[in-house]
Structure 1
Amino acid sequence: MARYTGASCRLCRREGEKLFLKGERCYTNKCAVARRGYAPGQHGQNRKKLSEYGIQLREKQKARRYYGVLESQFRKYFEMAVRKKGVTGVNLLQLLELRLDNVIYRLGLATSRPEARQLVRHGHFMVNGSRVDIPSYITKLGDKITVAEKSKSSPKIKSILENTSGKVIPKWLEFDADNLTGKIVALPSREDIDLPLKENLIVELYSK
């Protein structure tokens, strides 16, 4: 399966803000955006003012990179959002939030979305009692996500839980820290999604 394999920090610098792709590193003075807050490349410090199309494109790219989604996948999510009832932009963000890798991250079972994707691919999680190793799996209201029994004693999982112990869990999720079990108790509303995204610009871009 195709995926981005370049430097994560380069993506943050291109968007001019932290996308929190490196977990704990993003909160330290090692963060590339804090050290070099301009776009990568030899002309990074001399970027011209963006056109209307450029602004819309950057917003779409930023959303893609937050969630680690390729262009073809993102387009499919947009088409799904259009077909659903409600506001298209909000529907799009809701679909992205319900991806299994994002839910794992939101539950504090990974320090970043890229780490969550890796853990899901390695089979560390179960949905409604069945092992799921597809990061893009769209969870549903009422789904129960658990850490696989063999993975509960994993040093990796224990280390993650130590690092995320104070993390605030979104209100659309419930998490049982004793049993390492999460549940989707509501669909995420726009107010629940704390990312600085202007989804209306993405809708305008795809509507051209």
Structure 2
Amino acid sequence: MARYTGAKCRLCRREGAKLFLKGDRCFTDKCAYERRPYAPGQHGRIRKKMSDYAVQLREKQKVRRMYGILEEQFRAYFQRADLKKGVTGDNLLIFLERRMDNVIYRMGFANSRNQARQLVRHGIFTLNGRRVTVPSIQVKAGDQVGVREQNRNSPIIKEAQQVIARRGCPAWLEVDGENLKGKVNAMPTREDIQFPINEQLIVELYSK
């Protein structure tokens, strides 16, 4: 299955929630979901009664699209979360939050998770002093993240740093904006994920 390359704003409208896929644009009046808060297409305005399965599927698709994960990857994360001790739904979201591309986005070194994923693949960032190119690497408490010396004047990173104040940085991360580096202070918890997600619906979907 190929990665989605269509209009990202259609995904927000389809899921009925702002997924913040367009970076700073999502905080402005240009946001397509703010202007047309209904599903795309000819029959988007028509309200349909959804089955239990449809509700579960839409919740899974919302989370998968927000983090930019393909279906096979997402299912693998669920299987790992199910095998780990604790609440499966919480484990799943924590695995997604610990991805390197998500950490870069959360620290404000990229405008969106998609942009963060591209920057990581280009080798712009380091993890504990070593260059990384794999967006799915799982960070741990105490890890140090930084921008490589030769990439610190990148206009993309400078622009991202200017708009981080709009969304804020979670408490489990620490950012040094002047030196373009950050630290993972602790492992994320369910309370650190403020986006409205009902992870229990995803667990019920995959448990059938």
Same topology, TM > 0.5: yes
Q: Which moved more, 1:172-181 or 1:186-195?
A: 172-181
Q: Which runs of 4+ in 1 moved over 4 A?
A: none
Q: Name the counterpart of 1:175.
A: 175
SS of residue in 1 equivalent to 2:146: strand
Q: Name the counterpart of 2:53.
A: 53
Q: Name the counterpart of 1:132.
A: 132
**What fraction of aligned residue pairs are identical, expressed as a percent?**
63
SS of residue in 2 equivalent to 1:126: strand
What displacement does 1:200 show? 0.6
Q: Name the counterpart of 1:187.
A: 187
2-structure distance, mates of 1:53, 1:129: 45
Q: 1:21 corresponds to which letter in structure 2?
A: L
Query: How many residues in Structure 1 have an aligned counterpart in Structure 2?
Result: 208
SS of residue in 2 equivalent to 1:44: coil
Q: 2:95 corresponds to which letter in structure 1?
A: L
Q: Which moved more, 1:35-44 or 1:100-109?
A: 35-44
2-structure distance, mates of 1:45, 1:205: 26
Distance 1:136 1:51, change over 3 A: same
What displacement does 1:164 show? 2.2
2-structure distance, mates of 1:132, 1:6: 28
Q: Name the counterpart of 1:143.
A: 143
Q: Name the counterpart of 1:102.
A: 102
What displacement does 1:40 show? 1.1
What displacement does 1:12 show? 0.3
> 1:47-105 CA distances to partner (integer Å, 9 max, x unpaired)?
41111111111110000011011100000000010111110000000000000110001
Asked if 1:71 is matched to 2:57, the reply is no
1-structure distance, mates of 2:161, 2:185: 22
Alignment RMSD (CA, Å):
1.4
Q: Name the counterpart of 2:82.
A: 82
What displacement does 1:166 show? 5.8
Which 5+ residue runs of structure 2 have no aligned equivalent? Answer: none
Q: Which moved more, 1:174-183 or 1:124-133?
A: 174-183
1-structure distance, mates of 2:170, 2:159: 21
Q: Which moved more, 1:168-177 or 1:81-90?
A: 168-177
Q: 1:193 corresponds to which letter in structure 2?
A: I
Q: Is the 8 A contact 2:175 2:183 kept in 1?
A: yes
What displacement does 1:167 show? 4.8
Q: Is the 8 A contact 2:110 2:156 kept in 1?
A: no
